[in-house]
Copies of this chain bind each other. A is one copy, B any other.
Amino acid sequence: MHIAYPTIATLVVFISSVAGSESLTSTVSDQAKALIASSYDYNVGYEIIESLTTEVGPRQAGSEAEERARRWGIGKLEQLGFSNVRIEPFDVEFWQRRSERAEIIAPFPQALAITSLGGSVGTPADGVHGEVARFSTLQALQDAPAEGLKGKIVFVDELMTRTQDGSGYGVAVAKRSGAANEAGKRGAVAALIRSVGTDHHRFPHTGQMIYNTDGAKVPIAALAAPDADQLQRALSRGTVEVKLELDVQSMGQRTSGNVLGEIPGSGDEIILIGAHLDSWDLGTGAIDDGAGIGITVAAAKLILDMKKIPKRTIRVVMFGSEEVGLIGAQAYAKRHLDELDLHIIGTESDFGAGKIWRLDSRVAQSQRHKISAIHKILQPLGISLGDNQASGGPDMGPMRKLGMPVVSLKQNGWDYFDFHHTADDTLDKINRADITQNVAAYAAFIWMVANMPGDFRVTKSQSDNATTPSQKD
């Protein structure tokens, strides 16, 4: 068996190579190159981000502001000339932050910069207070005995690793739900975490947490990195007492929705691209995910302006309520289940505004040569060819799990978690030239997959066996 392998491998390479040469016509690749060339001074991506973050600003899932964002989305897609522009509504639980405050009350009285995690219960109006019990990692808290934390405030002080591909996030984010659930089990009155972030500014990072169905629900907030340091220094001198006042609440079901627009193709098949429209409430959602909205809509607009009918319909989706658990993506998959086989490939832009440096895919291995052919066109943009383990972006998750092939046009995420889910996620963090590079890559990619022959289908077993993507995108 060992000896037979090289022969088969050689054969596969040979077939792939032949298929590759057939996958992309010179007409389509020339059109893709022309799209890249025409994007050089194309500023529409940035203009869309500017418009959304200015005219709507923060747009939390289920809020009145998210409704305004949908109206903005409809107006923008119609104005740009997209077809079949519509809202597909669904319900979502709306969680509201009203005020929040924390302080060291002894031995060194001073305020701490914190923010509640989304979904947290509030404290009583006069707050909760208790002695702080610090754990350097979530694992250390999980390993702690069941007793000894009654009445205390648990503090999980785990640091996040800065990486280009965001792989530090998957590890660090576990404490968001984990800290409150472990604290609740052990009788603690509240939980604090060092923010899931990589910056050293005084911005706490919010983000969704989910309670276990069976445990006590204790309030949880994130400390800004300088405040986690400060608490650590105070604790190194002895016992520290902290007070926490969180006026936050789950307000029940509200209407949310996905906004869709299309460039109709000559056939029934669909290319799915998107980003998410909602943001956290603290910033104006420029990098998360105004950037993705700007990049994908501008890329499709660049194609619209070619005035050529693609073979496949290009469907742009602005997903609602991503931040609170991919609610819009699940609603999309449910509503479009009968179209599943028509979805040829999908991709989402939701990892900020950095340059794209890598093209990953998740397609049938037998179709991987088409990704290589596509990559050759994108390579001049500074994009390398990655692996076949792409997530496709969070909102592609439900459709990917049903078998839809995906790619990830992976952005440089080196500083993404400096701003992610903070008040500091604002337009000034966006570099116009980087947005232009993203738009060029998306436009060329979309045009190629919308017009090249054949399918990218992943076999069912490959989909099930796939490694869970470890990074956010």
Smallest distance from the beta carbon of A316 to chain B beta carbons, Å?
Answer: 24
Contact call A109/B65, Cβ cutoff below 8 A: yes
Known A226-B424, A226-B428; judge A108-B54 contact (CB<8 A). yes
Copies in the complex: 2
Q: State the CA gap A423–B283 with chains docked (Å).
A: 17
Interface size class of A (residues with CB under 8 A): 20 to 34
- Tell me the residues in window 12-54 of chain A with beta carbons closer than 8 Å to chain B beta carbons: 50, 53-54
Tell me the complex Cα distance, A50–B422, Å: 26
Q: State the Cβ distance, A332 to closest chain B Cβ, in Å.
A: 27
Contact B201 A424 (CB under 8 A): yes
B54 near A202 with CB under 8 A, answer no
Residues of B within 8 A of A203 (CB): 201-202
Which chain A residues (405-443) contact chain B, with CB distance < 8 Å? 422-424, 426-428
- B427 near A229 with CB under 8 A, answer yes
Contact of A426 with B57 in the complex, beta carbons under 8 Å: no
For A104, the closest partner residue in chain B by CB is B57
Q: Give bound CA distance, A200 to B426, whole Å.
A: 10
Contact of A55 among B56, B58, B200, B237 (CB under 8 A): B237
- A56-B108, A57-B110, A110-B284 are contacts. A202–B234 as well, Cβ < 8 Å? no
User: Which residue of the partner chain B has the closest CB to A101?
Assistant: B99
Q: Which residues of B have CB within 8 Å of A50?
A: 233
Cα-based distance from A201 to B427 in the complex (angstroms):
11
Asked if A466 CB lies within 8 Å of chain B CBs, one says: no
B428/A225 in contact, CB under 8 A: yes
Shortest Cβ distance from residue A363 to the other chain B in the assembled complex, whole angstroms? 40
In the bound complex, do residue B233 and residue A54 qualify as a contact, i.e. CB atoms below 8 Å apart?
A: yes
Residues of B near A229 (CB, < 8 A) are 426-428
Per the 8 Å Cβ criterion, residues 50-93 of A in contact with B are: 50, 53-58, 65
Contact between A202 and B110, CB atoms less than 8 A apart: no
Question: Can you name the residue of chain B whose Cβ is closest to the Cβ of A424?
Answer: B202
A365 interfacial by beta-carbon distance below 8 Å: no
| A111 CB–B CB distance under 8 Å | yes
Q: Does A200 contact B428, Cβ atoms closer than 8 Å?
A: yes
Q: A95 to B203, alpha carbons, bound, how many Å?
A: 26
Pairwise interchain contact B423-A113, C-beta atoms closer than 8 A: yes
Query: Taking the complex as formed, is A230 at the interface, i.e. its CB lies under 8 A from any CB of chain B?
Result: yes
Chain B residue with Cβ nearest A108:
B55
- On chain B, the residues within 8 Å of A201 by CB distance are 201, 203, 424
Q: Contact: A423 with B54, CB < 8 Å?
A: no
**Shortest CB distance A83–B (Å):** 28
Question: Given A54-B230, A234-B54 in contact, is the A202-B283 Cβ separation under 8 Å?
Answer: yes
Least CB distance from A352 to B in Å reads 16
**CA distance in complex: A203, B226 (Å):** 14
Which residue of chain B has the shortest Cβ distance to A233 in the bound complex?
Answer: B54
Determine the chain B residues whose CB is within 8 A of the CB of A54 once the complex forms: 108, 230, 233-234, 237
Chain B residues within an 8 Å CB radius of A225: 428
Taking a contact as CB atoms closer than 8 A, the residue among B104, B109, B426 that contacts A202 in the complex is B426
Residues of chain B contacted by A234 (CB below 8 angstroms): 54
Give the Cβ gap from A78 to chain B, nearest Cβ, in Å.
Answer: 19
Closest B residue by C-beta to A50: B233
19 additional A-B residue pairs with CB within 8 Å, beyond A57-B110, A57-B230, A202-B424 = A50-B233, A53-B230, A54-B230, A54-B233, A54-B237, A55-B237, A56-B108, A56-B110, A57-B104, A57-B108, A57-B109, A65-B109, A201-B203, A202-B422, A202-B423, A202-B426, A225-B428, A226-B426, A230-B284
Q: List 10 A-B contacts (CB under 8 A).
A: A56-B110, A57-B230, A58-B111, A202-B283, A202-B424, A202-B426, A226-B424, A229-B427, A230-B426, A230-B427
- 10 A-B pairs with least C-beta separation: A57-B110, A226-B426, A54-B233, A202-B424, A202-B423, A200-B428, A226-B428, A55-B108, A201-B424, A201-B201
